Every structure is written in C-alpha cells, then in structure tokens.
A and B are shown apart, each in its own frame.
Chain A
Amino acid sequence: MDSNILFSLFAGAILLFAILTVTTRKVLRAAVYLLFVLVSTAGLYFMLNYNFLAAVQLTVYAGGIVVLMIFSILLTSHISEKARMATLKEGVFSALTVVAGALLTIVLIINHKFVATTEPAISTDVQNVGRQLISYGENGYALPFEVISVLLLAAMIGSIIVARKESLASNVKSTDNQE
C-alpha cells in the first residue's frame, strides 16, 4: 500500500481518537479510545521501521497501562457514571489557549529549516538495538538501562506501599495498644 495512504490513515485515527479521549463523558470509553490512539502510534513506528519500539509500545502501553487504567476505573466509578466536565467558560478559555499554542508551534515548525546529517544510516533491527542497549562502549546505553531498571523496581515497591489497605502508622499504633 502507498505509504501516504497508510500515514493519513494512522494520523487520522490518532487525531480522531485523541479528541474523543478528552471529550467523551464516559470514562471507560475514554480508556478504550486511548487504546486506539496508542495502537495507531505503534502503527506509525512500524511504518518508520522501528520494530522493537512498536512492539514495546504495544506490550507496555496498550497491554499494560491501559489495562491498569481500566481496572482502576472499574474500582473507582460506576460504568454508567458520567464524568463531570469543566464549565463552559473554562472550556472556551482552555480551547483558546490550546488553539493559540498549536498555531504558534505549527508556524514555527513550518518556517524552520531542518538539516539532516549526511552520515550513513545504521540498522534499526532488534539485534542492533539489543546490542547497543547493553553495551557500555561508544553508542552504548547500559547506564540508562540500569537506571531505568532501578526506577521500575522503586516504583513497583512504592505503589504497593501506597495502595496497601492499612497504613504503616495505624499498624504501629495497634501494636502499641496491645503492649
């Protein structure tokens, strides 16, 4: 298929579902529209030949984060419940701000001349990506990889502690009372 058609298909889907995500009043539907946005973005990555990145986008974003959000929506609100939006005045002013910002950015982008490097391109297949991710020499990304691993561990422990039913303080109090 022509890549122009493919790009306009993905871009149209992204924009349509992004606008639906922020304007629909049903929270669960907003989560499903967000899923469509993320899957279309993965399609764009496949178009650009970043296969590993597209796979990560599908598994982590579409498979992990959206499912987590749907769980939390079901825990905290009823399915039929309608989300309350901002007042009309707030909505109009937000829309004006957003349109002004978008226009400014688009004008800047169109007027700017981007200069590409002339060096030869390197391969973006999974083998090359994996080798660079764990190499510590030139063009190696071992340190960010390790840092992000520690961050994920910290976030995991932190969210378990935060979401626990009884807080640490009440535990301490109850043991004090027993003594």
Chain B
Amino acid sequence: MTGNIPLEYFLVLSTLMFFTGIFGFLTRRNLITMLMSIELILNAVNINFVAFNHYLYPNQLQGHFFTLIIIAVAAAEAAVAIAIIINIYRSFKSIEVDKVNQMKN
C-alpha cells in the first residue's frame, strides 16, 4: 500500500514533529503541557522506528517491538509524572514551572 511513498517523507514528517515537540517544551510554562510536548517527541521517534523497520529491514520486527516498548515506557512515565504533578499542585496550588522553586515548604 506504500509502494510509491519514499522513506524520506516519513523521516521529514517525524523530524518536523520532533522539533515541534522541542519548541513546545522550550516555550511552555505549564507542567502538563510540557508533558504533552514530551509525548509528541516520543511519538515522532516511534514513526521513525516504524518507517525504518518497514523500508530498510522488513526481514525482522525490531523496530516494531522497540516502538511497542517505547509506548509502554511512555504510559509508565505519564502515570508517574501526573502523580508528581498532582502532588506539586497540592503543595504549591500551581503547576507553573517558575512558581515551583522550593524543595521544602
């Protein structure tokens, strides 16, 4: 179904998505939206792995399983990060990064 789409299209797409995520990570000041930017970055990497597996090494499934594992790690990371964010919200009443400036209050 993808006979006439070159590999480079997928790589350029994932590059643009990756740097969009970086931009969000640099400009956002809210912890949850920064977490969303990280999810964008991880998703761009997943597209890369899948495209490489499909176009360059179709005799193995390494990219496929690597992507599966990245998805699982992203789920675990999101769960722990959101637990920490809720805890921060309880002590600071805010989740803006520059208001969270004390280790102990």
A residues with a Cβ closer than 8 A to B are 3-4, 7, 11, 14-15, 18-19, 21-23, 27, 30-31, 34, 37-38, 41, 44-45, 47-50, 52-53, 56-57, 60-61, 64-65, 68-69, 71-73, 75-77, 83-86, 90-91, 94-95, 97-99, 101-102, 105-106, 109-110, 114-117, 119-122, 124, 128-129, 132-133, 139, 141, 144, 148, 151-152, 154-156, 158-160, 162-163
The interface bits of chain B over 46-85 (1 if a CB of A lies within 8 angstroms of the residue's CB, else 0) are 1100110011111111001101110111111111101111
**CB contact under 8 A between A85 and B27, given known A76-B86, A121-B59:** yes
- Partner of A72 from the list B21, B54, B65, B86 (CB cut-off 8 Å) is B86
| B15 A109 Cβ-Cβ under 8 A | yes
Q: Which residues of A contact B83 (CB under 8 A)?
A: 158-160, 162-163
Q: How many B residues touch the partner, as a band?
A: 35 or more
- The SS class assigned to the A binding surface is helix
| A65 B39 Cβ-Cβ under 8 A | yes
Q: How far is the CB of B89 from chain A (nearest CB, A)?
A: 5
